[in-house]
Amino acid sequence: MKVLRAENERLRQENALCKRTVKQAIDIGIVKVVPVDLDLTVPDEEPESWTERSAHFSRLRSMILKKTVELCKLHGRAVHQDEVLRAFRATYPTFSAGVSSFGETCSRRLRELRSEGYLTSPQQGYFFLGSRILESGKT
């Protein structure tokens, strides 16, 4: 089902691009005759709200949490967010390449995990295992 939704969204974007191209071609005079029943209306693009995008970040959050826990256990100390980002990029190079503003996006996910109790922050930019991780026994 996810594949079909993604394909549907890609086709909608492609259709909108084609309609805009035809409109522009009409405006500059490349296209002279347009069928009467041709619909060239394109819905206004609204930027995705945070609530619409948050589902996309759930997988990223869990991956970042796993990598942070792994690093904390490996080093036995709090790890800096740059260490987490480097390790994440090394482990998931194609995934990290597909995320725009990867550093800021991951930093926000780390702060979210801290605010939810999965991580703690003994110093700004450093993260360690939080109470929710320790209570769950997943360490």
97-121 tens-digit pLDDT: 766 677 888 898 999 999 999 999 8
What would the pLDDT profile of 63-85 be if each residue is shown by its tens digit?
Answer: 999 999 999 999 989 999 999 99
Domain boundaries, the chain: 1-45, 50-136
What would the pLDDT profile of 9-26 be if each residue is shown by its tens digit?
Answer: 888 888 887 777 777 777
Model-level pTM?
0.59
Nearest in space to 66 (alpha carbons), one of 103, 135, 119:
119
Pairing of strands 79-80, 119-120: unpaired
Share of the chain above pLDDT 90, in %: 24
Write phi, then psi, for 138 (nearest 5 degrees): -90, 15
Q: CATH assignment of 50-136?
A: 1.10.10.10
What CA–CA distance (Å, rounded) separates 87 from 135? 25
